[in-house]
């Protein structure tokens, strides 16, 4: 006759005792839970404060120059820069060098023609870049009274 | 699984109502206490059977219920709540055995090499079942308890230990054989004296 398959039942060990946890265990768990919640709140508060301080430091330390918003095209960026330079130059009282003004008008004329014939962005970009460079030079000249020398 | 609707379920199989679960998810301490009252006993019993120490079993219950208070928000009710909690208890017990370096080598052969040898088989009325269980190597004890008492299948054990099904089958069969040996009543040694010769 085949032997019955071994199991705790066949060994008559299936009736293992059950155990009750000590009565004070729940109070300990509850206290540990409260301690953990308090610690988490402190950590969260600390992290919040650190974030506020970091943001304040960032705002204070960042240069005030306007930055181009993300996603703006290079052409629009050059146009915006050109506009700002133009305003700065207009605000300066010193007389501009005649050579510089002539150069600026030449670049502006080239830009106008390019727009008239529906030029591509690739063609417009260097012209705007050129206009900004001339304007920057004019601002520098007007600021310290030096002569504009372009090579 | 067939379940008689009138059957009173015990241990991890006890049901828990949706309202209590919803309150527990919201962090209601009274609901947490209700869950504790329902499941602390099976949780503690499982830990006692596997670890054999009341201090270690208390640590397990504390770990499991602290974890439960956070993790219950993620409990979606796909499995019965008791089964979910049992899995947490088993994982905590395995972690504790690992931390005590009590998880034995994966190879079943050396697993029983250092298993406690009783000083001879025990008389049937002299053993304490729990003490007997504690003589098994921890991993063997864990497999025996999970399969024989908690209803884990060999497929589930294979997933739990990252082994094949034959691995847990082999360990289980060795554990049961070892228990059988320990339970076998000592055979009385009969001294055979020489037949007196007629002179």
pLDDT per position as a tens digit, A32-47? 999 998 888 888 888 8
Q: Are residues B68 and B144 in the same domain?
A: no
Q: What percent of chain A has pLDDT over 90?
A: 11
Q: Are residues B51 and B116 in the same domain?
A: no
Distance of CA B151 to the CA centre of its chain: 10
Residue B66 to residue A33, Cβ atoms within 8 A: yes
The secondary structure of residue A148, as a DSSP letter, is: P
Confidence of residue A61 (pLDDT cuts 50, 70, 90): confident
Distance from CA of B78 to the nearest CA of A (A): 26
Q: Are residues B58 and B112 in the same domain?
A: no
Q: Are residues B11 and B99 in the same domain?
A: yes
Q: Are residues A89 and A46 in the same domain?
A: no
Query: Is residue B61 over pLDDT 80?
Result: yes
**Per-residue confidence (pLDDT) for residue B131, from 0 to 100:** 85
Q: Does A28 touch chain B (CB under 8 A)?
A: yes
Q: Are residues B93 and B166 in the same domain?
A: no
Here the tokens at position B88 are 């947490």
Query: Is residue A59 over pLDDT 50?
Result: yes
**Per-residue confidence (pLDDT) for residue A136, from 0 to 100:** 84
Q: Is A138 part of any domain?
A: yes
Using a CB-CB cut-off of 8 Å, the residues of chain A touching B36 are: 26, 29
Residue B36 to residue A28, Cβ atoms within 8 A: no
Q: What is the mean pLDDT of residues B8-23?
A: 87
**Per-residue confidence (pLDDT) for residue B24, from 0 to 100:** 95
A85 neighbors A137 (Cβ within 8 angstroms)? no
Q: What is the mean pLDDT of residues B176-191?
A: 74
Give the best-scoring range by mean pLDDT among A39-48, A56-65, B117-126: A39-48
Q: In angstroms, what CA-CA distances link A34 with A14, A31, B33, B172?
A: 39, 5, 14, 42
Residue B176 to residue A7, Cβ atoms within 8 A: yes
- Please choose, from the candidates B91, B74, B140, the residue with its C-alpha nearest in 3D space to the C-alpha of residue B113: B140
Q: Does A17 touch chain B (CB under 8 A)?
A: yes
Query: Is residue B169 over pLDDT 90?
Result: yes
ipTM here: 0.75
Q: Does B143 touch chain A (CB under 8 A)?
A: no
pLDDT per position as a tens digit, B64-120? 999 999 999 989 888 899 999 999 999 999 999 888 765 555 656 566 665 555 544
**Burial letters for A19-28: b for 16+ Cβ neighbours within 10 Å, e otherwise?**
bebeeebbee
Q: Are residues A78 and A131 in the same domain?
A: yes
Higher pLDDT, B3 or B75: B75
Q: What is the span of the domain harbouring residue B12?
A: 7-103
Q: Are residues A29 and A50 in the same domain?
A: yes
Distance between start and end Cα atoms, chain A = 112
pTM over cut 0.95: no
Lowest mean pLDDT among B129-138, B149-158, B188-197: B188-197
Which residues 109-128 of B have a C-beta within 8 angstroms of A? Answer: none
CATH number at residue B152: 1.10.10.10
**Per-residue confidence (pLDDT) for residue A48, from 0 to 100:** 80
**Per-residue confidence (pLDDT) for residue B115, from 0 to 100:** 58
Q: Are residues B95 and B112 in the same domain?
A: no
Q: What is the span of the domain harbouring residue A126?
A: 74-144
Residue that finishes a domain, picked among B103, B122, B157: B103
Confidence of residue A2 (pLDDT cuts 50, 70, 90): low
Query: Is residue B51 over pLDDT 60?
Result: yes
A45 neighbors B67 (Cβ within 8 angstroms)? no
Count CB-CB contacts under 10 A for residue B75. Answer: 15
């Amino acid at each position: 006759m085949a032997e019955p398959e071994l199991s705790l039942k066949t060994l008559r060990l299936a009736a293992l005792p059950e155990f009750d946890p000590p009565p004070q265990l729940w109070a300990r768990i509850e206290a540990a839970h409260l301690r953990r919640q308090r610690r988490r709140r402190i950590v969260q508060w600390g992290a919040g404060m650190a974030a506020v301080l970091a943001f304040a430091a960032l705002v204070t330390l960042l240069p005030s120059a306007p930055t181009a918003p993300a996603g703006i095209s290079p052409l629009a960026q050059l146009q915006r820069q050109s506009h700002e330079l133009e305003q700065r130059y207009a605000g300066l009282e010193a007389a501009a060098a005649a050579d510089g003004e002539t150069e600026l008008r030449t670049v502006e004329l080239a830009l106008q023609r390019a727009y008239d014939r529906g030029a591509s962005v690739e063609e417009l970009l260097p012209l705007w870049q050129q206009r900004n460079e001339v304007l920057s030079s004019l601002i520098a000249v007007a600021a310290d009274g030096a002569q504009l020398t372009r090579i | 699984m067939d379940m008689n609707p009138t059957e009173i379920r015990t241990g991890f199989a006890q049901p828990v109502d949706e309202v209590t679960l919803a309150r527990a998810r919201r962090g209601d301490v009274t609901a947490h206490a209700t869950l504790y009252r329902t499941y602390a006993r099976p949780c503690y019993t499982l830990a006692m059977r596997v670890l054999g120490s009341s201090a270690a079993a208390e640590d397990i219950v504390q770990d499991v219920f602290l974890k439960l208070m956070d993790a219950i928000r993620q409990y979606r009710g796909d499995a019965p709540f008791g089964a979910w909690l049992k899995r947490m208890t088993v994982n905590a017990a395995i972690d504790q055995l690992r931390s005590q370096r009590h998880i034995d080598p994966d190879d079943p052969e050396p697993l029983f090499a250092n298993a406690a040898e009783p000083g001879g088989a025990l008389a049937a009325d002299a053993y304490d079942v729990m003490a007997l269980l504690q003589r098994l190597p921890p991993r063997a004890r864990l497999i025996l308890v999970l399969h024989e008492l908690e209803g884990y299948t060999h497929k589930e054990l294979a997933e739990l230990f990252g082994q094949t099904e034959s691995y847990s089958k082999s360990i289980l069969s060795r554990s049961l054989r070892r228990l059988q040996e320990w339970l076998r009543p000592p055979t009385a040694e009969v001294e055979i004296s020489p037949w007196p010769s007629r002179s």
